[in-house]
Each structure stands twice: as structure tokens, then as C-alpha cells.
Amino acid sequence: IAFNSARFLTSAARLDQCPEDTGREVAFAGRSNSGKSSAINAITRIGNLARTSKTPGRTQLINFFSLSTPGTRLVDLPGYGFARVSRNTQKQWEKHLGDYLAHRQSLVSMTLIMDLRHPLSEFDAMLIEWCEHHGLPMMLLLTKADKLKSNPARRQIESVRRDLEGIECIHHIQPFSALKGQGVEPARNHLSDWLLG
Ligand code: GDP
């Protein structure tokens, strides 16, 4: 799959605003500042693609990008864990995301972006539970790996693996660095496998 062919398609605030539910799409989730935009940019090699999702008014939306392989899409889910959103907004957001996960037929896998130094927030854990519940395969990108020296990085990755042992929906746990390009190629390969079915 040519990930650098990604083009902004549309934004959706609710399930009924999503593009037609055909073909195959993979979604990217992560708390804000986890490095999600940088990871999407590294994978697509398009410097400002995910910035589209950060333009004011779009940060709370589900953003869809089409790829040149017909019927395939990347989906940038809103970053969670904003310090300043109200409890109500948070609940609304969880409902929309829950609807999307539960009902979207074309969703074939979830990529969860976590800062290697701060993995498994409460919301990360909830997302993993949802994916396990719906049998949705996941890839975990443990990003900003370049910020740790190799031994602490390795220990941290092992600790995440241990914490998640036995969770069947998790297919790949990949150390990643948008800065150094670490993990980009394996991530692309897994995404291609899911998108091409
Ligand atoms: P988002 O809010 O999850 O989309 O996060 P961003 O992609 O905007 O990244 C948040 C901050 O982390 C920015 O300052 C990035 O430059 C930095 N960052 C993201 N990925 C990496 C990485 O792999 N290595 C390093 N060193 N910094 C990163």
C-alpha cells in the first residue's frame, strides 16, 4: 500500500457522518501529546497530514483519509485526555468512539499510540478492553523510543508486554520513533496486511 497517497477525505462528529461503511479502514488512537500525529506523519511520509486533524474545530472529530488502494482508509481518532474538557464532553466523546468501535463494519484494526515512557493510561486500558470485547485486532506503537537509552527502553517494552500478556486482540507491540524512523516499516507492513485483508 502506498501510504504516501493518503488524502484528507472528511471529518465526522458522529457515526452517521462517517463516510460510507464499505471497504477497509484502520484507526489510530492515543492520548493527546502521545505522538499520534507524528506517528501518522512518519507512516504516510506526509509532513502535515495529521495536522489536518489538529486544525481548530477538528480536534474533537474523527478524521478520515483515503489511500490510493480503492476502498482503503486511515482514520485519525480525536486525541483523548485533554486537561480542559468537561466531564460532559468527555462522556459524549466516549459515546461517539464507543459507537464507532461497536458498529463500524469497515474498521479492521486499531493502532494505539502510547508514549513509551508513559504507557497504559486509564483510557488506553479502556480502549484495549473495548477492542478485546469486540474482537478488534490491535497494534501498539510505543513511540518516542529515542527518548530512552536502549536498556531502559528494552525494560519498559518488556514491562508493557508483561502487563498485556494474554490479551488476545493485541497482535503487535512495536517500539517506535517518529524522529528516528524506528518501527515505521514494520508498522506499515502490519497496516498493509490488515487493509488488504
Ligand atoms: P499528538 O498530540 O499525540 O498528535 O502528538 P504529536 O505528534 O503532536 O507529538 C507531541 C510532541 O512529541 C511533539 O513535540 C513532537 O515533536 C514530540 N514527538 C512525537 N513523536 C516523537 C518521537 O518519536 N521522538 C521524539 N523525540 N519526540 C516525538
Please write the tens of the pLDDT for every residue from 102-140. 999 999 999 999 999 999 998 899 999 999 999 999 999
Amino acid 145: pLDDT:
98
Which residues share a beta bridge with 73? 25, 66
CA of 141 to the centre of ligand 1 (A): 13
Nearest CA to ligand 1 atom 24: 144
The upper half-sphere exposure of residue 9, i.e. CA atoms within 13 Å in the direction of its Cβ, equals 21
| pLDDT digit string, tens, across residues 52-88 | 677 777 777 899 999 999 999 999 998 877 656 777 8
Cβ of 35 below 6 Å from ligand 1: yes
Indicate the pLDDT class of residue 173, thresholds 50, 70 and 90.
Answer: very high
Sign, CA dihedral 133-118-45-149, equals negative
Cβ of 144 below 6 Å from ligand 1: yes
Cβ of 79 below 6 Å from ligand 1: yes
Cβ of 190 below 6 Å from ligand 1: no
Please check the confidence at residue 2 and state whether its pLDDT lies above 80.
yes
pTM for the whole structure? 0.95
* pLDDT (average), residues 22-43: 95
CA of 38 to the centre of ligand 1 (A): 5
Q: Are 54 and 37 in contact (CB under 8 A)?
A: yes
| Residue 41 alpha carbon, nearest atom of ligand 1 | 7
* pLDDT (average), residues 16-20: 95
Q: Which domains does the chain have, with CATH numbers?
A: 3-196 (3.40.50.300)
CA of 34 to the centre of ligand 1 (A): 6
Report the alpha-carbon distance of residue 31 to residue 124 in Å, rounded.
8
Cβ of 109 below 6 Å from ligand 1: no
Amino acid 83: pLDDT:
58
Cβ of 63 below 6 Å from ligand 1: no
Amino acid 82: pLDDT:
62
Cell output for 190 = 502490519
Report the alpha-carbon distance of residue 35 to residue 113 in Å, rounded.
7
Please check the confidence at residue 41 and state whether its pLDDT lies above 70.
yes
